[in-house]
Amino acid sequence: MSSGTLFDKVWDLHKVKDLKGGSTQLFIGLHLVHEVTSPQAFSALQEKNLSVLCPERTFATVDHIVPTHNQNRPFSDPLAEEMLYTLEKNCKQHQIKLFNIGSGNQGIVHVIAPEIGLSQPGMTVVCGDSHTSTHGAFGAIAFGIGTSQVRDVLASQTLSLDKLKVRRIWLNGELSNGVFAKDLILHVIQKLGVKGGVGYAYEFAGPAISKLSMEERMTICNMAIEGGARCGYVNPDSKTFNYLKGKTYSPKGETWERAVKWWESLASNRDATYDDEVELEASAISPTVTWGITPGQSVGIDECIPEKNPLEINDHQIYDEAYAYMNLQPGQSIEGVPVDVCFIGSCTNGRLSDLKAAAEIAKDRKVCKGIKAFVVPGSEKVSKEAKREGLDNIFINAGFEWREPGCSMCLAMNPDRLEGTQISASSSNRNFKGRQGSAKGRTLLMSPAMVAAAAVTGHVTDVRKLKAIQ
């Protein structure tokens, strides 16, 4: 059993009581709400005649269903309009702060909470969305929950949970040029598998992690869930504190000094005990691309699509399913696979540094004829900042569409989607069958720079071969 880790410390601080059967009632410090997984929770609250216990610890935004073309109300899709209207009504009734479209703070829930300083070290953070693990980048215990649990948190600010084991994933070295946080996490999932993290929280540590920016750490923690780990985290350090300093919801003045002192004390102890430890070498990672139908089915750009491993019999079925669905063959090089659609955005890679990395490749180049390429900033703030830096014009001049913030084609609950058997180069997080809105649509996950490279060449391309045009 783990002890002395950040996970243990934060867990213990939030423990309300032991429940019968061994589960723990855990206090939740920050509850993020969006339009898709909350309406039924609010209805259930009403049915049970309960109110929201801590509206001041609950914050909402709208992201999944918003159109990225035209966000004028009412939305052209009446179902989407109904969902936002319901969220507005619920937030108003329960006095929950809603970061609505046009507020300057709307965006993908996992982009906005960090950028306004809501996500902080030492918190427990939940949201009815599996990518809540993102907030672990700050040294929080952050995880996704279902709608019944959203109801429980609204009503009691607590959850019934079983404690997770802790696996430390130690990354030596550093990422080489042209290799990004996305490549690192795809590599980790490839090595440990999509089921490898079930029952664990992942602590990402080591020199390669320390060197990452906060936005890069968010990308890593965001995809912990794709490796089966309900939450992933990075111990807080000076980068964490620098990022938080001056943000709207960050502590100020003397409180700030006290906060930093407390945050520093939360990091895993040097002599902490882990349930499991894994060590990987970051400098050995190449730009990584998924070829299959789970985020674990990926290869380095210089590798070929793998054959089935005769020793891993249990994986044969999902490999066969992937070859058939993706229409890709084992032994085929991933580099050069033609793409139809290029999507830059999502809670994984829709932040300013992601857009910058992609813009560096797009600058003074042109999107290949016949390819639909579009950029969806993760939030209104990201959009504003990107425009200030002229990134929108770089993309538009290159032939990308520049959109309004939202989840967009990551899960296609809005007008952005694949058609038929189209294949996308996507900076999002899931390549499941049908994920991007077409039952036969195919997804290749990669870093935003790699997506930009695919857009300008028309096929999967090693971004390291495309130098920025000065």
Partner 1 sequence: MQKFKEFPKGKINNVEGNCILLKGDDIDTDRIIPARYLKCVNFESLGNQVFADDREEKNGLHPFDIKKNSEASILVVNRNFGCGSSREHAPQALMRWGIRAIVGLSFAEIFYGNCLSLGIPCVKMIEKNLIELEQLINSSHQFRCELDLNKEILISHQNSWPIIINQGASQMLLSGHWDATSTLTKANQEINIVKSNLPYLNQFKIKK
Q: Tell whether the torsion through CA atoms of 107, 34, 136 and 14 is positive or negative.
A: positive
Distance CA 289, CA 335 (A): 9
The strand pair at 141-144 and 200-205 is best described as unpaired
In whole angstroms, how close is the CB of 17 to partner 1 at the nearest point? Answer: 5
Among 36, 112, 347, 446, binds partner 1 (CB under 8 A): 36
| 200 strand-pairing partners | 165
Q: Which residues contact 343 (CB under 8 A, 6 or more apart)?
A: 373, 374, 376, 408, 409, 410, 416, 424, 425, 426, 427, 428, 436, 451
29 binding partner 1? (CB under 8 A):
yes
Residues within window 213-232 making contact with partner 1, judged by CB under 8 A: 225-226, 228, 230
Each residue 75-94 as x (binds partner 1 by CB under 8 A) or -, in order, gives --x-xx-xx--x--------
Distance CA 92, CA 47 (A): 18
In whole angstroms, how close is the CB of 448 to partner 1 at the nearest point? Answer: 22
Burial (CB < 10 A; 0-12, 13-18, 19+), residue 70, is exposed
Q: Are 446 and 339 in contact (CB under 8 A)?
A: no
Cβ nearer to partner 1, comparing 118 with 208: 118
Residues within window 351-370 making contact with partner 1, judged by CB under 8 A: none
In whole angstroms, how close is the CB of 50 to partner 1 at the nearest point? Answer: 7
Q: Which of 222, 342, 202 is nearest to 275 (CA)?
A: 202
421 binding partner 1? (CB under 8 A):
no
Stretch of 154-162, 183-191, 341-349, 420-428 lying at the interface with partner 1 (CB under 8 A):
154-162
Among 71, 156, 213, 397, binds partner 1 (CB under 8 A): 156
Inter-CA distances, 1 with 163, 270, 278, 318, Å? 10, 16, 16, 33
Among 114, 287, 437, 458, binds partner 1 (CB under 8 A): 437
39 binding partner 1? (CB under 8 A):
yes
Distance CA 158, CA 151 (A): 10
Q: Which of 354, 425, 168, 190 is nearest to 284 (CA)?
A: 190
Among 31, 135, 151, 182, binds partner 1 (CB under 8 A): 151
Distance CA 348, CA 356 (A): 15
Stretch of 42-50, 268-276, 332-340, 457-465 lying at the interface with partner 1 (CB under 8 A):
42-50
In whole angstroms, how close is the CB of 369 to partner 1 at the nearest point? Answer: 30
Q: Which residues contact 453 (CB under 8 A, 6 or more apart)?
A: 361, 461, 462, 463, 466
43 binding partner 1? (CB under 8 A):
yes
Neighbour order of strands in the sheet with 276-281: 231-233, 200-205, 165-172, 276-281
262 binding partner 1? (CB under 8 A):
yes
Among 6, 96, 125, 159, binds partner 1 (CB under 8 A): 159
Residues within window 191-210 making contact with partner 1, judged by CB under 8 A: 194-195, 198-199
Widest CA span in the chain: 64
Tokens coding 324: 């058939």
Stretch of 157-165, 208-216, 362-370, 445-453 lying at the interface with partner 1 (CB under 8 A):
157-165
In whole angstroms, how close is the CB of 367 to partner 1 at the nearest point? Answer: 26
Distance CA 343, CA 430 (A): 13
Stretch of 14-22, 180-188, 326-334, 451-459 lying at the interface with partner 1 (CB under 8 A):
14-22
Alpha helices in 193-237 (DSSP H): 207-210, 214-222
Fill in the DSSP letter of residue 331.
T
In whole angstroms, how close is the CB of 107 to partner 1 at the nearest point? Answer: 19
- Angle, helix 181-192 to helix 214-222, in steps of 10 degrees: 30
In whole angstroms, how close is the CB of 459 to partner 1 at the nearest point? Answer: 26
73 binding partner 1? (CB under 8 A):
no
Cβ nearer to partner 1, comparing 66 with 171: 66
245 binding partner 1? (CB under 8 A):
no
22 binding partner 1? (CB under 8 A):
yes
Residues within window 98-137 making contact with partner 1, judged by CB under 8 A: 120, 122-123, 128-130, 132
Each residue 270-309 as x (binds partner 1 by CB under 8 A) or -, in order, gives ------------------------x---------------
